[in-house]
């Protein structure tokens, strides 16, 4: 029975980290995209994406991936090792 409790505790910790990561990623990504949009005032990213501009899509994908890496290292610092 003690093993079961230990496994369930680890499961709850894992779910907690997943929720924390999802919330942090959502907030961080929203902020990062707003900052990126503010830094590029002459470029309407979403309009360019609708037109099929692959270069803008690649840059935005890079911003999203970089933000994900920052959030991952912030939430779980030992992941950077």
20-72 pLDDT, tens digit each: 888 988 888 888 888 888 998 898 888 999 999 999 999 999 988 988 888 77
Say if CB 67 and CB 24 are below 8 A apart: no
Q: Residue 81: which pLDDT band, with cuts at 50, 70 and 90? A: low
Phi and psi torsions of 29, nearest 5°: -65, -40
pTM, whole model, 2 decimals? Answer: 0.66
Q: Tell me how many domains the chain contains.
A: 1
Q: Does residue 4 lie within any of the structural domains?
A: no
Buried b vs exposed e over 27-47: b needs ≥16 C-beta within 10 Å?
A: ebeeebbeebeeeeeeeebee
Q: Does residue 3 lie within any of the structural domains?
A: no
pLDDT of residue 37: 87
Phi-psi region of 44 (alpha: psi -120 to 50; beta: other; left: phi over 0): beta
Q: Does residue 40 lie within any of the structural domains?
A: yes
pLDDT of residue 79: 63
CA distances to 5, 23, 37, 45 from 53, rounded to whole Å, are: 52, 29, 16, 9
Q: Does residue 6 lie within any of the structural domains?
A: no
Residue 19, pLDDT above cutoff 80: yes
Residue range of the domain that includes 58: 21-80
């Amino acid at each position: 029975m003690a093993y079961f409790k230990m496994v369930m505790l680890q499961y709850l910790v894992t779910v907690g980290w997943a929720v924390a990561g999802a919330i942090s990623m959502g907030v961080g990504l929203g902020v990062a995209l707003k900052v990126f949009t503010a830094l590029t005032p002459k470029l309407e990213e979403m309009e360019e994406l609708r037109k099929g501009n692959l270069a803008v899509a690649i840059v935005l994908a890079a911003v999203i991936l970089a933000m994900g890496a920052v959030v991952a290292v912030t939430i779980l610092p030992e992941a950077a090792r």
